[in-house]
Amino acid sequence: MSFQDTHPSQAQHQSATQAAQIIWRHWQSAQVLIALPMDCRPQNAQQGYAAQAQLPWVSGRKVLGWKIAATSANGQAHINVSGPMAGRLLSGQVFDSGATVPSEGNRMRVAEPEFAFAMAQDLPPQTAPYTQQQVMAAVASLHPAIEVPDSRLEPFTAAGEAQLLADNACARHFVLGPAAPDLWRELDLSTYPVHAQVKHGSTLKYARDGSGGNVLGDPRIALTWLANQLSHLGITLQKGQVVTTGTCMVPLELEPGDTATADYGPLGRVSMTFSV
């Protein structure tokens, strides 16, 4: 189904809004949710995205960008979904590198080093798929980034794709690093290495390595997927929005007080501390 033939009924709209209100209320209270009530529980991806689309309205937040969840086979298997999922980055949940990110209420307790792209121009819905060349031509800059995801659903691994989409594809907090030098455009991101460390104070707890190849094979492929997914949903990927493309390594386990740093070599670095 394309954006041209998607016309939700009033009842469907009310159900989506009810689901979003319940999800947001649980986020605000840090309570978990075993499942959404049957009268508003999304049954498929389309209904899950419809519920997610109501989150900015029920929360009063602005959409600053997008995240992609489950961009690796391991990630998809972990949460029992068949492919990647898009979620919204909302105002009040985005931080600059070096920030202290709230740990309270976060049950996943992981940091995910990612490649993020800031958009230079709109990519509106269209009938033909965007090519990777078209999407990359619309990019302003590449940024090292860290996502700190979470879910209100318990257990989130058994919630299913539709409910996870309603829960904003596990979007929680996001840390955006400085723009990388333009040399990134000449690099093969599919093999680009990323090195991460987790410290507690001055003590190194562990280090981990990753690669752009863990992100649907290439972060550029992931960004193109997101542009086309939004087009399919009738949504414009807007100038100024940021897209974070999914973790490039096994997520970094965190405890309160830990600092995670991801080093992208010549492309820069990004860090965050999980609050005590």
**CA separation for the pair 248, 218 (Å, rounded):** 9
In a domain, 112, yes or no: yes
Q: Torsion angle, CA of 210/214/215/217, rounded to 10 degrees?
A: 130
The whole-number pLDDT of residue 80 equals 84
Q: Which of 157, 168, 172, 9 is nearest to 75 (CA)?
A: 157
Residue 225 lies in a domain: yes
Q: Taken in order 214, 73, 149, 139, is the CA torsion positive or negative?
A: positive
Q: What is the pLDDT of residue 7?
A: 62
**Torsion angle defined by CA atoms of residues 2, 140, 217 and 131, in that order, rounded to the nearest 10 degrees:** 40
pLDDT at 179: 98
Q: So what's the pLDDT on residue 270?
A: 98
Q: Compute the distance between CA of residue 165 and CA of residue 144 in angstroms, rounded to an integer.
A: 25
**Which tens digit of pLDDT belongs to each residue from 26-43?**
999 999 999 999 999 999
User: Does residue 15 belong to any structural domain of this protein?
Assistant: no
Q: What is the CATH number of the domain that holds 163?
A: 3.90.850.10
The model's pTM: 0.94
DSSP per-residue codes, 198-209: EEETTEEEEEEE
Q: What are phi and psi of 70, to 5 degrees?
A: 60, 55
Question: What's residue 2's pLDDT?
Answer: 47
The total number of structural domains in the chain stands at 1
pLDDT tens, position by position, 180-196: 999 999 999 999 999 99
Residue 100 counted as domain residue: yes
CB 101 within 8 A of CB 173: yes
Ranges of H-type helices in 53-131:
55-59, 73-78
Q: Are 118 and 179 in contact (CB under 8 A)?
A: yes
List 33's β-bridge partners, or say none: 153
Write down the pLDDT at residue 8.
67
Low-confidence ranges of the chain (pLDDT < 70): 1-8
Nearest to 40 by CA among 51, 56, 55, 25: 51
In a domain, 256, yes or no: yes
Question: Residue 66: left if φ>0, alpha if ψ -120 to 50, beta else—which one?
Answer: beta
Domain that holds residue 77: 63-274
Cα–Cα distance for residue pair 112/69, rounded to 1 Å: 11
In whole angstroms, give the CA distance from residue 193 to residue 89.
25
